[in-house]
Amino acid sequence: MLDYAALAAGLDEWAQYHAGQAERLREALGAARRTLAGLERERMAAKASRARTSWLLAIPLEAPSGVCRPPAAPEAYTALAADGSQIAPDRQEVASCFLLNVGSVRLHYGPQAAAQLESRPWVVFRDEDMVTDYGDRQVPVDAKALADRRRLLEAARLAEMLAETAPPALAMVDGSLIWWQLQADDQRYREQMITAYLRLFEQARAVGIPVVGYISEPAGREVANTLRLLACPEPAPDCDRCPFPSGPRPCRDQDLPMVADAPLFAGLLRPGERSAVFESDSPVLRRYGEHHVCFCYLNVGQEIARLEFPGWCARDPEMLARAHALALDQAGKGRGYPVALAEAHEQAVVRAADREVFYRMLESRLVGRQLPARRSAKQLAKRGGSL
């Protein structure tokens, strides 16, 4: 039985600690905003470019503390989005395979408003596709491998829709455009992954439509990390050879390591405004070439979202303004989250009933060809069946 008196004492300690951390964070955010205010772009960019650190940093393309009011969204435009879901392999089931399902939407606004919603399933079953390479070993596909392969299909579907769309329009991806784990990915899929995104970016540029990665509740710290770097007195910081290995470190002053980008900009952006545009220094982006991903933060009213876009979009004022206006309009239409992404998710999602139908259809095809179709005893017990 739970000792509620002891629990209450522990929760009191937790609440006291949490209150103290909240106060520290308020002070740290104030210090970070004061550092950002009036900071010259050249100084921030130069310090970041000279530094050697394991932290991800942000290179400003505009005045770091600048804000941009939202341009007016056109009455008539098209929003494109793709999202995916899956049924993972289950060794307890009748056969070893998995399903990838990609939902896509094309929402056209204006006098001739229209909506096209679609989902496309892919059944993956070949032996070579059921494993992932890790060095010299092959292991069964895991959740990350499934997500990577699903994203390949999402990118391909968006590129296909872009080829059939005229501006003004916006193409949206749920999540980051940066393939953070590219270096660790299965070698057989690595080039396919980067090629799929570069093809998407090229198609977007060819038709003059910005493509945006939309991140809700972002946890990025690149801007805050760069402000932390500015506290270091070294002209070219090398964090692996820090001259302050013991005692107070300037980069830890005022609790700057506690600060993340979204709460930093929450105190600077009014609803509809975006932050300055920054370039990420993630090593993965060396593979992106001229499509090096840039980002900004956008106050959509309910939250601070992160927008990511290819470098050519960030450096084109018209493209950037369109991405800002249409992403904000989509979030407004979706009451805080882009309606195109929400609808694409609804098309993609695979529910429990869908999973059951998938395996029953799979079983019927095995039986029809007089192939073994036995579920494990464990799976049958769950379903109340018999051997």
Ordered by where they begin, the domains of the chain are 67-223+252-350 (3.30.2170), 353-383 (no CATH)
- What is the tens place of the pLDDT at every residue in 221-230? 999 999 988 8
What local confidence, expressed as pLDDT, does residue 368 receive? 62
Residue 387, pLDDT above cutoff 50: no
In this structure, what is the dihedral angle of CA atoms 378, 381, 382, 384, given to the nearest 10 degrees? 160
Do residues 192 and 153 make contact, with C-beta atoms less than 8 angstroms apart?
A: no
* DSSP code of residue 235: S
What local confidence, expressed as pLDDT, does residue 13 receive? 94
Which of 54-58, 199-203, 306-310, 371-375 has the weakest average pLDDT?
371-375
- What is the tens place of the pLDDT at every residue in 140-196? 677 777 788 888 899 999 999 999 999 999 999 999 999 876 655 556 667 778 889
Given the DSSP bridges, would you call strands 77-87 and 304-310 parallel, antiparallel or unpaired? Answer: unpaired
Residue bearing tokens 């390479």: 133
User: Which residues lie closer than 8 Å to 163 by C-beta, 6 or more apart?
Assistant: 203, 207
Do residues 113 and 339 make contact, with C-beta atoms less than 8 angstroms apart?
A: no
Residue type, 91: R
For 206, half-sphere exposure in the C-beta direction (CA atoms, 13 angstrom radius) is 13
CA distance 2 to 22: 29
Do residues 148 and 193 make contact, with C-beta atoms less than 8 angstroms apart?
A: yes
Residue 273, pLDDT above cutoff 80: yes
Percent of the chain with pLDDT over 90: 56
% helix, strand, coil for the chain, step of 5: 45, 20, 35
Neighbours of 85 (CB within 10 A): 20
Residue of higher predicted confidence among 108 and 231:
108
User: If you count them, how many residues does the chain have?
Assistant: 387
* DSSP code of residue 240: G
What local confidence, expressed as pLDDT, does residue 28 receive? 85
Query: Of 96, 33, 98, nearest to 265 (Cα)?
Result: 33
What local confidence, expressed as pLDDT, does residue 346 receive? 96
User: Which residues lie closer than 8 Å to 117 by C-beta, 6 or more apart?
Assistant: 103, 104, 105, 343, 347
Residue 111, pLDDT above cutoff 70: yes
What sections of 37-55 are H helices per DSSP?
41-50
CA distance 343 to 340: 5
Mean of pLDDT over the chain: 86
Residue type, 17: Y
What local confidence, expressed as pLDDT, does residue 376 receive? 40
